[in-house]
């Protein structure tokens, strides 16, 4: 058997290409290892364990590959080319595949280590095969020196480029795809050189198909990223769904259940009681007889859960835009457990409608109105914070009724927070701001509004986890960094709030 | 039904179309939808004199309004406001409103043409009176300025422009202009501000709205004698971005290129608006999901059963002191003759010259063709930069962009909606453009519209559910050079009975305020002619 029979062309070019291949395959091999380790610690947490086990498995699999190389008895260069094509396909798509599979796979770890072992084994085949292919070109002493030199140089390039350039510039999905292209480029280059000496058409076709898929992947990387919520949430996604109105994502890490709407955190089950007690009780505690309650927004049923604790409440009308949201929180057992089945309570009626339109058509009055909309991140939502909207809501408020408005963070966005009060006042109401600390949100603010100043103590029920007669009044105190400041009135035709909100939050988030 | 047509299908379709020339008409439409427009059969039957003549006895109606576009409806509204009930308004189409008609789906109503009314100037007295009656003006501030119902004013964000790959607020680019270009832009704005405030020696505003109240001063009349493009060149405006913006503006309001309209009309677009409103709302617009069809419907409501749709006025001629009006009833399939004491001829000149040759057609008005499409989407578009606005325009598109029909009524950032897409076919001669407009099929229009929308908002890929296309052969009269001083037009305005013309054609500006003014004026003159004159609302 004479493998050097493959080298009938210009031998120097072959040797150069093969040595360059060593550099490329060494770089690629380490990149896949780093990608798997980073992804594992990113997705599963506990980076020391993940890196250690991924690297260990990968090196072990390389050993397996080296061992298996002995069973390659003929056509080493042909096998090497096919190994390159396989690594390109599997390694190149590994990051994208793991991202996409994460929310779907029953046991993500099995998939992760399967991919690590396969790539490791294939990479383990590369160097032994290359040494055997090159053995007739160099003296053994030079051969070992050359191959290992390029191998370690490649490792250095990979380990520096990965954290400094690749992840920040390309992201993990594109990094995988780009190095997949490098592997397939080695295969294509060798096939091109060998085209006169053997049949290459079949392998060339497969290699080019793999290359095309990787290039297509580069263009689709954004979309893949979007599909893989985990890249964004970094937590266990247990439910993700797009409705006509929003993207609803539920995550769970340990006991912490979180809801995101369009990427914005709505609650964490660990501390939502702080938010919802603060939203509900300062209002209900100041209404003599809150028989009729209106909730605008709040499709998660958590505010309703609080309201239902009050035996004086005879009916709650909940108006939320998205039928899917109220359906999820009514029918999914772990979500219904969180709101204690509030959305199934006979005292509560749900109406799925756009509150902006609903308030203009609504009739009747309510003793307490709770407004719990998402923050005014865009112009459409900003309409729900305007003087025109509040004037319509005020029409629905009983003469001695009290309402509350979720009003973003007075610490991060004090101008936005006080704009809500200013706007409620322009609609003819008296206001009182207050705030509390919700760990998953930070310092959060609310605004009470009524026809007469909503002062005086609140009558709180027993058994609240957060509010009592001591802590409730403290919420109304604003230190100087959150103190009231002059603000414009938010109107439909100026959307002052959306603008100040965007400015203050971007400033805060840098 | 939901059509999942994706971008690649469109591209494939476009490629195939390029290879097989003239395939547009034969190819199936890529989306559900319909090709709509004015009733051409009824219109052409008048033109070709194909409708049968009147039978039976003459009917006597003291005052007839011929045509139920905005001018005719405004005339009818004015008569109702005067307590005058002895009139009939005949409209050829099934629904009155002219350019201000609308459609609706399960999500929202949407306009088929005019979609907003700028806050009227102080001089638009009759219009302000009407808006107050319709509850759109809810009060008055300390200075006497009208306070408008905020729900009917355009909500922020009003406009955004796709400029260099990113959406930005407003229609004027704020980035990437050279200092020279930015300086030209400032100079143009300053010049327009001077015109906006200018008052002629006759004490009238240089550029009024309604335009009939503008100064007759020679300084401004001169501007009617050169084209807007020539005036811009003469004044040294050369910055490409500025000229592109001005071209967008003249196409948007007049359906015409800057070279095809007079400098007076071009400047009027920028200098004619001095909206008079409380709370600093003077620069805002009144708008509704169905556009100006809201105003048309409210005016029609005042006219009540005296409004007779599906009736073509086929002939108007003088008979002694009376006017004989032949009317064909499309439902009954029969015509009758009406003897009227006065007629308000509220139809565009291209129709009036066939119906009432003694009273119209002395001058050949030219009309710009338009295409308006309503595109139902399952989710709203967004894009990099500024969020979705009411009016969304791309600096690289040949179209005039799209207006979000449910902008006023929805607070859902996503969710389904309707985008009203506008295109003025201004780059060819109107006659040729009109021919091309009618030759192209639904599929061809849908592909062009979808491709244009996807170029602006690629995220709409797969979210377009339906595209209905309305073809306006004669959408707007064109304010060509010399239109202000055209003797035939002046004669049409000066008519003293018993036939009174009322149409925005008389202004040369196809705007609601103009049609309303001429409708009210004709109605008041007709009332005076019948001896029923009173105080003018104008």
Domain shared by B326 and B428, yes or no:
no
Touching check for A432 and chain B: CB below 8 Å?
no
Range of the domain at A53: 3-230
Domain shared by B256 and B131, yes or no:
yes
Asked if residues B382 and B538 have their Cβ atoms less than 8 Å apart, the reply is no
> With contacts defined as CB-CB under 8 Å, which chain B residues touch A498?
156
Residue in chain B lying closest to A495 (CA): B156
Domain shared by B355 and B374, yes or no:
no
The number of domains in chain B is: 3
pLDDT of residue A227: 63
Distance separating alpha carbons of residues B355 and B343, to the nearest angstrom: 13
Q: Give me the percent of chain B exceeding a pLDDT of 90.
A: 81
Q: Cβ of B335: how many Cβ atoms within 10 Å?
A: 19
* Structural domain contains residue A378: yes
> With contacts defined as CB-CB under 8 Å, which chain A residues touch B412?
245, 321, 354, 380
pLDDT of residue B350: 92
Binding residue per annotation — A354? yes
Q: State yes or no: pLDDT of A204 exceeds 70.
A: yes
Distance separating alpha carbons of residues B512 and B115, to the nearest angstrom: 10
Q: Closest Cα of chain B to A325: distance in Å?
A: 14
Pairwise CB contact (< 8 Å): B411 & A495: no
Q: State yes or no: pLDDT of A214 exceeds 50.
A: yes
* Structural domain contains residue A286: yes
Q: State yes or no: pLDDT of B130 exceeds 90.
A: yes
Touching check for A395 and chain B: CB below 8 Å?
no
Residue in chain B lying closest to A247 (CA): B414
Binding residue per annotation — A266? no
pLDDT of residue B4: 40
* pLDDT mean across residues, chain A: 88
Pairwise CB contact (< 8 Å): B156 & A387: no
Pairwise CB contact (< 8 Å): A356 & B415: no
Pairwise CB contact (< 8 Å): B411 & A498: no
Residues A180-197, mean pLDDT to the nearest whole number: 90
Of B117-121, B202-206, B413-417, the one with minimum mean pLDDT is B413-417
Domain shared by B247 and B144, yes or no:
yes
Q: Per residue in B259-275, pLDDT tens?
A: 999 999 999 999 999 99
* Structural domain contains residue B414: yes
Q: Per residue in A356-371, pLDDT tens?
A: 999 999 999 999 999 9
Touching check for B409 and chain A: CB below 8 Å?
yes
pLDDT of residue B22: 40
Pairwise CB contact (< 8 Å): A380 & B388: yes
Instruction: Among B284, B411, B414, select the one facing A493 at the smallest CB separation.
Output: B284
**How many secondary structure helices (H) and strands (E) does chain B include?**
15, 23
Please report, for the domain that includes residue B91, its CATH number. Answer: 3.50.50.60
Of A257-266, A379-388, B108-117, the one with minimum mean pLDDT is A257-266
Domain shared by A182 and A307, yes or no:
no
Binding residue per annotation — A459? no
* Structural domain contains residue A385: yes
Pairwise CB contact (< 8 Å): B153 & A492: yes
Burial class (CB in 10 A: 0-12, 13-18, 19+), A452: exposed
Touching check for A354 and chain B: CB below 8 Å?
yes
Q: Closest Cα of chain B to A223: distance in Å?
A: 11
pLDDT of residue A105: 58
Q: Give me the percent of chain B exceeding a pLDDT of 70.
A: 95
Q: Cβ of A510: how many Cβ atoms within 10 Å?
A: 4
Pairwise CB contact (< 8 Å): A382 & B156: yes
**Start-to-end Cα distance in chain B:** 50
* Structural domain contains residue B65: yes
Binding residue per annotation — A276? yes
pLDDT of residue A456: 85
Higher pLDDT, B371 or A13: B371
Q: CA dist B51 to B42, B43, B231, B346, B386, Å?
A: 9, 10, 47, 20, 54
Q: Per residue in B297-335, pLDDT tens?
A: 999 999 999 999 999 999 999 999 999 999 999 999 999
Asked if residues A411 and A441 have their Cβ atoms less than 8 Å apart, the reply is no
Please report, for the domain that includes residue A412, its CATH number. Answer: 3.40.50.150
* Structural domain contains residue A389: yes
Q: Name the domain boundary from B263, B283, B303.
A: B283
Residue in chain B lying closest to A378 (CA): B387
Q: Per residue in B341-386, pLDDT tens?
A: 999 999 999 999 999 998 887 777 899 999 999 999 999 999 899 9
Q: State yes or no: pLDDT of A2 exceeds 50.
A: no
Touching check for A506 and chain B: CB below 8 Å?
no
> With contacts defined as CB-CB under 8 Å, which chain B residues touch A321?
411-412, 415
Domain shared by A197 and A289, yes or no:
no
Q: Which residues contact A68 (CB under 8 A, 6 or more apart)?
A: A121, A124, A125
Domain shared by B158 and B267, yes or no:
yes
Instruction: Among A378, A491, A493, select the one facing B387 at the smallest CB separation.
Output: A378
Domain shared by A275 and A226, yes or no:
no
Higher pLDDT, A236 or A125: A125
Pairwise CB contact (< 8 Å): B411 & A493: no
Q: What is the 3-state secondary structure (H, E, C) of B262-318?
A: EHHHHHHHHHCCCECCHHHCCCCEEECCCCCHHHHHHHHHHHHHHEECCEEEEEEEE
pLDDT of residue A429: 97
Per-residue confidence band for B5, with pLDDT thresholds at 50, 70 and 90: very low
Tell me the Ramachandran region of residue B140: left when phi exceeds 0, alpha when psi lies from -120 to 50, beta otherwise.
beta
Domain shared by A437 and A327, yes or no:
yes
pLDDT of residue A82: 93
pLDDT of residue B18: 38
Which residues on neighbouring strands pair with residue B339, listed in sequence order? B60, B324
Domain shared by A181 and A309, yes or no:
no
Q: Name the domain boundary from A199, A230, A261.
A: A230
The number of domains in chain A is: 2
Q: Cβ of B502: how many Cβ atoms within 10 Å?
A: 33
Tally of residues, chain A: 510
pLDDT of residue A140: 84
Q: State yes or no: pLDDT of B14 exceeds 60.
A: no
Domain shared by B134 and B244, yes or no:
yes
Distance separating alpha carbons of residues A462 and A468, to the nearest angstrom: 8
Residues B388-399, mean pLDDT to the nearest whole number: 95
Touching check for B410 and chain A: CB below 8 Å?
yes
Asked if residues A300 and A267 have their Cβ atoms less than 8 Å apart, the reply is yes
Q: Name the domain boundary from B249, B283, B317.
A: B283
Asked if residues B253 and B259 have their Cβ atoms less than 8 Å apart, the reply is no
Q: Per residue in A437-479, pLDDT tens?
A: 999 999 999 999 999 998 889 999 988 999 999 999 999 999 9
Per-residue confidence band for B11, with pLDDT thresholds at 50, 70 and 90: very low
Q: CA dist B197 to A139, B200, B206, B231, Å?
A: 93, 10, 8, 20
Exposure string over B18-55, b if 16+ CB within 10 A, otherwise e: eeeeeebeebebbbbbebbbbeeebbebbeeeebeebe
Q: State yes or no: pLDDT of B488 exceeds 70.
A: yes
Distance separating alpha carbons of residues A298 and B528, to the nearest angstrom: 62
Per-residue confidence band for B20, with pLDDT thresholds at 50, 70 and 90: very low
**Cis before B498 (ω within 30):** yes
Q: State yes or no: pLDDT of A5 exceeds 50.
A: no
Which of B152, B156, B386, B405 should we substitute to test contact with A (largest number of A Cβ atoms within 10 Å)? B156
* CA dihedral for A238, A244, A245, A246, sign (positive or negative): positive
* Structural domain contains residue B538: no
pLDDT of residue A11: 65
Q: State yes or no: pLDDT of A326 exceeds 70.
A: yes
Domain shared by B519 and B507, yes or no:
yes
Q: Per residue in A18-45, pLDDT tens?
A: 888 888 988 998 999 998 888 776 666 5
* Structural domain contains residue B114: no
Instruction: Among A244, A354, A494, select the one facing B411 at the smallest CB separation.
Output: A354
Instruction: Among B151, B284, B387, select the one facing A388 at the smallest CB separation.
Output: B151
Q: Per residue in B222-248, pLDDT tens?
A: 999 999 999 999 999 999 999 999 999
Distance separating alpha carbons of residues B206 and B199, to the nearest angstrom: 5
* Structural domain contains residue A436: yes
Q: Closest Cα of chain B to A423: distance in Å?
A: 14
pLDDT of residue A369: 98
Distance separating alpha carbons of residues B265 and B152, to the nearest angstrom: 28
pLDDT of residue A151: 87
Supply angle C-alpha A211, A150, A113, rounded to 5: 55
Please report, for the domain that includes residue A113, its CATH number. Answer: 1.20.1250.20
* Structural domain contains residue A114: yes
The one catalytic residue in A372, A400, A477, A481 is A372
Domain shared by B320 and B340, yes or no:
yes
pLDDT of residue B497: 83
The secondary structure of residue A103, as a DSSP letter, is: T
Residue A372 annotated in active site = yes
Range of the domain at B381: 7-30+367-477
Domain shared by B128 and B194, yes or no:
yes
Q: State yes or no: pLDDT of A229 exceeds 70.
A: no
**Cis before B157 (ω within 30):** yes
Domain shared by B350 and B380, yes or no:
no
* Structural domain contains residue B329: yes
pLDDT of residue A234: 57
> With contacts defined as CB-CB under 8 Å, which chain B residues touch A383?
155, 411
Q: Closest Cα of chain A to B126: distance in Å?
A: 25
> With contacts defined as CB-CB under 8 Å, which chain B residues touch A426?
none
Q: State yes or no: pLDDT of B182 exceeds 90.
A: yes
* pLDDT mean across residues, chain B: 91
Domain shared by A173 and A294, yes or no:
no
Q: Per residue in A67-79, pLDDT tens?
A: 999 999 888 889 9
Tell me the Ramachandran region of residue A463: left when phi exceeds 0, alpha when psi lies from -120 to 50, beta otherwise.
left
Q: Cβ of B7: how many Cβ atoms within 10 Å?
A: 15
Distance separating alpha carbons of residues A404 and A381, to the nearest angstrom: 17
Residues B41-54, mean pLDDT to the nearest whole number: 89
Distance separating alpha carbons of residues A303 and A280, to the nearest angstrom: 7
Binding residue per annotation — A304? no
Domain shared by B371 and B360, yes or no:
no
Binding residue per annotation — A169? no
Residues A104-110, mean pLDDT to the nearest whole number: 69
> With contacts defined as CB-CB under 8 Å, which chain B residues touch A262?
413-414
pLDDT of residue A200: 86
Per-residue confidence band for B3, with pLDDT thresholds at 50, 70 and 90: very low
Pairwise CB contact (< 8 Å): B156 & A379: yes
**Cα atoms in the Cβ-side hemisphere of radius 13 Å centred on B325:** 32
Domain shared by A320 and A209, yes or no:
no
* pTM summary value: 0.77
Residue B429 DSSP SS3: coil
Domain shared by A74 and A19, yes or no:
yes
Domain shared by B383 and B467, yes or no:
yes
> With contacts defined as CB-CB under 8 Å, which chain B residues touch A382?
156
Q: How many CB pairs under 8 A join A and B?
A: 75
pLDDT of residue B475: 93
Q: CA dist A4 to A70, A80, A144, Å?
A: 18, 14, 18
Give the DSSP H/E element, type plus range, for residue B233.
Answer: helix B228-234
Residues B181-208, mean pLDDT to the nearest whole number: 96
pLDDT of residue A45: 54
Asked if residues B508 and B483 have their Cβ atoms less than 8 Å apart, the reply is yes
* Structural domain contains residue B108: no
């Amino acid at each position: 058997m004479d493998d050097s029979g493959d080298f009938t062309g210009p031998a120097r070019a072959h040797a150069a290409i093969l040595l360059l291949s060593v550099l490329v395959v060494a770089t690629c091999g380490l990149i896949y290892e780093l990608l798997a380790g980073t992804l594992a610690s990113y997705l599963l947490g506990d980076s020391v364990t993940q890196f250690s086990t991924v690297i260990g498995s990968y090196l072990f699999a390389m050993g397996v590959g080296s061992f298996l190389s002995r069973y390659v008895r003929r056509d080493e260069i042909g096998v090497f080319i096919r190994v390159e094509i396989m690594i390109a396909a599997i390694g190149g798509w590994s990051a994208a595949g793991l991202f996409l599979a994460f929310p779907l796979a029953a046991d993500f770890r099995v998939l992760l280590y399967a991919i690590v072992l396969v790539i490791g084994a294939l990479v383990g085949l590369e160097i032994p095969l290359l040494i055997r292919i090159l053995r007739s070109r160099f003296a053994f002493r030079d051969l070992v020196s050359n191959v290992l030199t390029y191998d370690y140089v490649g490792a250095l390039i990979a380990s520096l480029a990965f954290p400094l350039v690749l992840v920040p510039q390309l992201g993990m999905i594109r990094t995988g795809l780009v190095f997949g292209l490098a592997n397939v480029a080695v295969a294509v280059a060798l096939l091109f050189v060998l085209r006169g000496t053997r049949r290459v058409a079949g392998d060339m076709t497969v290699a080019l198909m793999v290359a095309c898929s990787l290039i297509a992947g580069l263009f689709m990387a954004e979309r893949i990223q979007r599909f893989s919520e985990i890249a964004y949430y970094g937590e266990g996604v247990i439910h993700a769904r797009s409705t006509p109105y929003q993207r609803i994502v539920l995550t769970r890490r340990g006991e912490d259940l979180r809801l995101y709407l369009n990427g914005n955190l709505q609650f964490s089950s660990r501390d939502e009681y702080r938010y919802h007690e603060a939203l509900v009780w300062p209002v209900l505690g100041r209404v003599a007889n809150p028989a009729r309650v209106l909730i605008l927004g709040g499709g998660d049923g958590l505010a309703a859960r609080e309201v239902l604790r009050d035996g004086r409440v005879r009916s709650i009308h909940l108006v939320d835009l998205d039928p899917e949201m109220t359906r999820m929180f009514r029918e999914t057992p772990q979500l219904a457990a969180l709101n204690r089945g509030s959305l199934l309570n006979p005292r509560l009626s749900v109406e799925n409608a756009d509150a902006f339109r609903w308030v203009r058509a609504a009739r009747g009055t309510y003793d307490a109105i709770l407004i719990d909309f998402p923050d005014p991140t865009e112009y459409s939502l900003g309409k729900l914070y305007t003087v025109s909207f509040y004037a319509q809501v005020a029409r629905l408020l009983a003469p001695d009724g009290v309402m509350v408005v979720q009003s973003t963070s007075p610490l991060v966005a004090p101008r936005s927070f006080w704009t809500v009060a200013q706007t409620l006042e322009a609609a003819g109401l008296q206001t009182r701001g207050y705030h509390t600390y919700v760990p998953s949100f930070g310092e959060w603010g609310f605004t009470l509004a009524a026809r007469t100043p909503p002062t005086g103590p609140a009558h709180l029920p027993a058994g609240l986890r957060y509010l009592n007669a001591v802590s409730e009044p403290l919420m109304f105190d604003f230190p100087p960094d959150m103190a009231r400041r002059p603000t414009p009135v938010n109107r439909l035709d100026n959307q002052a709030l959306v603008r100040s909100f965007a400015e203050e939050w971007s400033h805060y988030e840098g | 039904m939901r059509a999942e047509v994706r971008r690649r299908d469109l591209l494939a379709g476009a490629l195939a179309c390029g290879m097989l020339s003239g395939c547009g008409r034969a190819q199936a439409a890529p989306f559900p939808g319909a090709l709509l427009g004015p009733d051409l059969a009824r219109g052409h039957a008048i033109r070709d004199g194909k409708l049968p003549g009147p039978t039976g006895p003459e009917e006597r109606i003291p005052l007839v309004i011929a045509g139920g576009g905005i001018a005719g409806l405004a005339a009818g509204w004015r008569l109702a406001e005067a307590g005058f009930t002895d009139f009939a308004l005949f409209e050829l189409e099934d629904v009155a409103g002219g350019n201000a008609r609308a459609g609706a789906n399960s999500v929202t109503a949407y306009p088929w043409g005019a979609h907003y009314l700028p806050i009227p100037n102080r001089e638009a007295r009759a219009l302000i009176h009407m808006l107050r009656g319709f509850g759109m003006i809810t009060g008055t501030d300390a200075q006497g300025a009208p306070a408008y119902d905020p729900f009917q004013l355009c909500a922020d964000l009003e406009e955004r422009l796709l400029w260099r790959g990113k959406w930005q607020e407003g229609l004027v680019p704020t980035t990437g202009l050279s200092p020279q270009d930015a300086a030209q832009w400032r100079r143009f704005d300053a010049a327009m501000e001077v015109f906006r405030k200018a008052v002629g020696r006759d004490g009238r505003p240089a550029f009024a709205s309604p335009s009939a109240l503008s100064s007759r001063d020679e300084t401004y009349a001169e501007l009617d004698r050169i084209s807007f493009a020539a005036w811009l060149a003469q004044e040294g405006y050369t910055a490409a971005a500025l000229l592109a913006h001005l071209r967008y503006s003249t196409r948007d309001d007049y359906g015409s290129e800057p070279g095809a309209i007079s400098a007076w009309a071009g400047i009027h677009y920028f200098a004619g608006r001095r909206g008079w409103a409380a709370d600093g709302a003077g620069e805002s617009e009144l708008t509704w999901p169905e556009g100006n069809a809201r105003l048309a419907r409210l005016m029609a409501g005042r006219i009540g059963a005296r409004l007779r749709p599906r009736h073509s006025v086929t002939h108007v001629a003088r008979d002694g002191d009376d006017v004989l009006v032949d009317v064909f009833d499309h439902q009954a399939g029969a015509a009758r003759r009406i003897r009227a004491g006065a007629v308000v001829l509220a139809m565009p000149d291209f129709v009036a010259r066939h119906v009432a040759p003694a009273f119209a057609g002395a001058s050949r008005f030219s009309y710009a063709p338009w295409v308006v499409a309503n595109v139902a989407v399952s989710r709203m578009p967004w894009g990099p930069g500024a969020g979705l606005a009411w009016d969304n325009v791309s600096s690289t598109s040949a179209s005039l962009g799209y207006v979000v029909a449910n902008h006023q009524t929805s607070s859902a950032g996503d969710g389904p909606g309707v985008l009203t897409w506008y295109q003025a076919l201004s780059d060819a001669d109107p006659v040729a453009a009109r021919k091309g407009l009618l030759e192209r099929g639904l599929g061809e229009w849908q592909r062009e519209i979808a491709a244009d929308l996807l170029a602006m908002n690629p995220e709409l890929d797969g979210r377009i559910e339906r595209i209905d296309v309305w073809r306006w052969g004669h959408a707007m009269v064109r304010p060509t050079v010399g239109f202000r001083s055209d003797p035939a037009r002046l004669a049409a305005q000066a008519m003293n009975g018993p036939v009174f013309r009322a149409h925005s054609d008389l202004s040369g500006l196809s705007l609601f305020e103009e049609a309303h003014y001429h409708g009210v004026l004709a109605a008041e003159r007709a009332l005076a002619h019948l001896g029923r004159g009173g105080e003018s609302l104008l």
